[in-house]
Amino acid sequence: MSVKDVNLEKVGFDAAEKERAGTYMQVDSQVLKCTVKQEGVEIYPVVEALDRFDWAKKYLWGVLPEDSSLGNFSNGYFIRVLPGASPVFPVQTCLLIDQDDVQHVHNIIIVEEGAELNVITGCSSLPGKGKHIGVSEFYVKKNARLHFTMIHMWGREVEVLPRTGVVVEEGGIFINDYVCLHPAARIKAYPTIYLNGEGATARAQSVLVSTEGTDMDLGTRVYLRSEGTKAEVVSRAVSFGGRLIARGHLIGEKPGVKAHLECKGLLLSDKGVIHAIPELEGRAKDLEMSHEAAVGKIAKEEIEYLMARGLDEDEATATIVRGFLNVDIIGIPESLKRELDEIIKMSDSAM
């Protein structure tokens, strides 16, 4: 099997680049593709960017504390959108594990003042063991907007340990959509978003499916550090037998901030575990923070209602699970939606 056999369409990858502002593709430690299709966008392998531009160095370990224990990264992407630029199409990035035991990347995205950027990033692996360490640091400057969609489709024996830090300046917006339908053996991530500037906003939505033999520990942490900052963190998790921890931590540090956290889980097998850990931490007066957490099963009543509209039991279950996961709200590729239906069907018959 080779890289060509992996269906990258499912992780949002458009090989023809028709509707893409640019592409970065890395297999193991090798950069296979690094192209720019629209003005105002700069894409480099991160090693090259750091080598060429002195100013780029301040963005390395600029959000996250430097951790030398991780060792050296092989490469990663460096994406920058110039001030005021707003490319029509998203930039796509794709990180694949093929032969190597460990893939270690360091990614940097800078959206300059008043600029806008959509990024679709797909991470996948060929069947086999492996470990993915991905450090990502994103900078959303004043009145800029970054919409980052990440689709994970790992092999069953891969370990995934990303670290993500995001800084949002005044009036900036960061939207994070995360979809993980093919969980790895172990995946652990707790991206942290710092809303540093006044009126900065963060919205994070995760769609998580955990099948038997997988262990997922995922959450989002948001520091609301300025007045008027807002955050909404929503996670929808379905376990067909896997272990899944859904975390969320909101820290309100200034009066008047608003934040909401929602962790909802559907547990469809006795073998699975869903552990929702929502945390709210208020550190100033006059703030509004709330959370909503629920773990449950699909109500028989809902299944039978859809059966009374002509669906058989499996179709009814799949319809409800799809609805619960909100897949139609997040713009995930059609082929991935079909994949989700297949996963539900397969897990259904296994139940």
CB 225 within 8 A of CB 254: yes
Q: How many residues does the chain have?
A: 351
How many helices (H) and strands (E) are present in the chain, helices listed first?
4, 21
Tell how strand 163-168 and strand 186-189 pair up. unpaired
The residue range among 79-87, 220-228, 321-329, 342-350 that interacts with another protein, by the rule CB under 8 A, is 321-329
Kindly identify the residues of this chain, within the stretch 144-183, that bind another protein according to CB under 8 A. none
* Residue 348 binds another protein (CB under 8 A): no
State the nearest-atom distance from the C-beta of 190 to another protein, in Å.
26
Which helix (H) or strand (E) is 293 found in, with range? strand 288-296
Q: For residue 75, report the phi and psi dihedrals to the nearest 5 degrees.
A: -170, -150
* Minimum CB–partner distance for residue 236 and another protein (Å): 9
Using alpha carbons only, how large is the chain's radius of gyration in Å?
Answer: 20
Binding residue for another protein (CB under 8 A) from 306, 332, 336, 343? 306
* Candidates 1-9, 55-63, 223-231, 306-314; binding stretch for another protein (CB under 8 A): 306-314
Enumerate the H helices of 7-113 as residue ranges.
46-52
Residue 137 vs 177, nearer CB to another protein: 177
Contact 21, 36 (CB under 8 A): yes
Report if residue 345 touches another protein, rule: CB under 8 A: no
Q: Which of 3, 273, 293, 311 binds another protein (CB under 8 A)?
A: 311
Q: Are 119 and 92 in contact (CB under 8 A)?
A: yes
Structure tokens given for 222: 């948001």
- 4-12, 123-131, 285-293, 302-310 -> range binding another protein (CB under 8 A): 302-310
Question: Which of 320, 332, 340, 343 is close enough to bind another protein by CB under 8 A?
Answer: 320
Interface positions, 280-299, toward another protein (CB under 8 A): 299
Q: Is residue 301 a contact residue for another protein (CB under 8 A)?
A: yes
CA distance 337 to 9: 11
Q: Is the dihedral of CA 189, 63, 36, 20 positive or negative?
A: positive
Inter-residue contact 174 to 167 (CB < 8 Å): no
Q: Is residue 120 involved in binding another protein (CB under 8 A)?
A: no
Stretch of residues binding another protein (CB under 8 A), selected from 106-114, 132-140, 163-171, 325-333: 325-333
**Residue count at the site for another protein (CB under 8 A)?**
22
Reported as type and span, the H/E element at residue 318 is helix 313-325
At closest approach, how far in Å is the CB of 319 from another protein? 6
Binding test (CB under 8 A) with another protein, winner from 328, 331, 338, 350: 328
Among 39, 310, 334, 349, binds another protein (CB under 8 A): 310
Q: Which parts of this chain interact with another protein (CB under 8 A)?
A: 299-302, 304-313, 319-320, 322-326, 328
